[in-house]
Amino acid sequence: MKCNEIIMNKKIFLPFMLMFCICLESIGQSFYHFQFVLPDQKHISFVKALMVQYDDNDGIVRFGYYDSIQHKNIITECQIQNVAPQNKLDSNSTLIKLLRQRSIQGDASIQFEEYAFIALSSQDGAGNRPVSFASISSDVAIIKPINFLNQTLLPESDLNEISLDGLYLKEEPFYKNYTKSKSRGGFNWGREIPTLHVIILADLYDAHIGVGCNEDRRKLIQFYTSVASKLKIRLDTVTIANERYNRSGVQSALDSLKPGSNDIVVFHYTGHGFNREDPTDPYPNLFLVPYSERTAFDSLKSKEQEEALSNATMSIQEIYKIIISKGARLNCVFSDCCNTEYKLKNVPMIDDGKTKRGFLTLYPDYCKKLFIDERASFLATAVKKGEQAASNARIGSLYTDNYLQIMGKYLTPAYNGSADDVNWNSILANADEITRVKAPTIYNRLTKAPFNMSPFHNLQKN
């Protein structure tokens, strides 16, 4: 693995505060195993459950029980959503509501949407920790708490035939991923091993967004290092930073990029961005004014700034065209920056102070589908013209964080969907959608309105 630090970048840091209780965290997950008795369900001796809770506190719960009337083992699943109860038992409590119940095996006699988990906010990075079960009313008031017979926060290594029995079918991907012999990775025997080239252009020292950009850089390097390790492929990382943060520095990095025909190239920009009102280019330009010149740049008149920018910017679309011309098998280009006028000012941010969980385990087979099997090129950006991108010192940029959240859900052994859906179209579409949904829950104090973020991407097969 090579690690080179060469340069740096600019995004309008539009820090944000949460309007609703949404936790934006680094990618990770927790597994809770429960057993409990439902007093009003006399034909069922006990229920066991497994909750898979992601860092944004969504997830799923599997319930399993034996129905003595049907003489069948029942498995059913619900999605989870954190909501505030009408009658809190504790100032630190919340409800994990059960939604969209669906049967996996047999006909469920229990309507779990009439129940919820009572949870306490955790300070140890484990998300909202379930402490009991409860029946709830239609207006989300707690009717009757139900204590667990037992509750365990399982390490991922304890997901096995015993802990999953009666909760997952043996033919489901989740069960297979945790119970079959683990893949050793290394899917390239007998042919040349590809290299994963990762170029991160991040504005690490900007007074407003530098800390958030550095968090993006840290998480991206951690993620791609893990991917390369799982696949046993070469990794070449370049962070563009320090005194070489300028247009010529970026051009030099692109000139030095010489991928093989079976290689993977990732270029990820996190910084300030702007748009020149070019009707033919919906993508942003990157703000590449060197740090040594920024004070002088800010004091220039508008016309002089326009002239100065002519030598201190590149369009992300221009960078994309250069990269795909290199002929790699897979080209992934991201811009996480504003796509509006560069004169907008920054505002201080408010952090929710939540603790982050650790990095999750990646599954080699799913990494292979995405990074080895696909031949594609795409350009993805965080916002459309006229929109501002949100950034936060703790989680980094909202779009980048959501992209990594989605990666974490598709590439973990806990992914229980179709392997056919592990593809770049699904990853990018879901990252776009979750960003569109979360952005309006974040207050932009510059515009005095919620954020509007409309990510979009263009993918073509190679």
What is the rounded CA–CA span in Å between residue 164 and residue 174? 9
Higher-confidence position of 331 and 19:
331
Please list, in sequence order, all residues whose beta carbon lies within 8 angstroms of the beta carbon of residue 202, skipping any fewer than 6 positions away.
8, 9, 213, 214, 216, 217, 239, 240, 241, 269, 270, 271
pLDDT at 155 over 80: yes
Is the pLDDT at 25 greater than 70, yes or no?
A: no
For residue 355, how far is the Cα from the chain centroid?
16
pLDDT score for 18: 34
Contact criterion met (CB below 8 Å) for 250 and 211: no
pLDDT exceeds 60 at position 188: no
pLDDT of residue 357: 46
The SS3 call for residue 296 is: helix
C-beta of residue 381 within 8 angstroms of C-beta of residue 339: yes
Mean pLDDT of the chain: 83
Q: Output the pLDDT for position 244.
A: 80
Assess contact for 206 and 213: CB atoms under 8 A. Answer: yes
Residues forming a β-bridge with 397: 391
Q: Show me where the domains of the chain are located.
A: 2-21+183-461, 29-178
Computed on alpha carbons and rounded to an integer, the radius of gyration of the chain in Å comes to 24
What are the two backbone dihedrals, phi and then psi, of residue 456, each rounded to the nearest 5 degrees?
A: -150, 160
pLDDT for residue 377? 97
Where is mean pLDDT largest: 10-14, 55-59, 244-248?
Answer: 244-248
Confidence of residue 342 (pLDDT cuts 50, 70, 90): low
Q: Which of 6, 445, 8 is nearest to 210 (CA)?
A: 8
Tokens of 310: 């002519």
CA angle (27, 451, 356) in 5-degree steps: 20
What are the CA-CA distances from residue 136 to residues 112, 117, 140, 185 (Å)?
10, 10, 6, 46
pTM across the whole model: 0.80
Tokens of 75: 């498995």
| Residue 41, both tokens | 């369900």
End-to-end CA distance of the chain: 26
What is residue 280's predicted lDDT score, i.e. its pLDDT? Answer: 75
Beta-carbon-side half-sphere exposure of residue 90 (alpha carbons within 13 Å): 11
User: Pairing mode, if any, of strands 234-240 and 195-202?
Assistant: parallel
Q: Does domain 2-21+183-461 have CATH number 3.40.50.1460?
A: yes
Q: What is the pLDDT of residues 37-74, one digit of tens each?
A: 998 888 898 999 999 988 777 889 999 999 999 999 99
- In degrees rounded to 5, what are phi and psi of residue 164? -95, -10
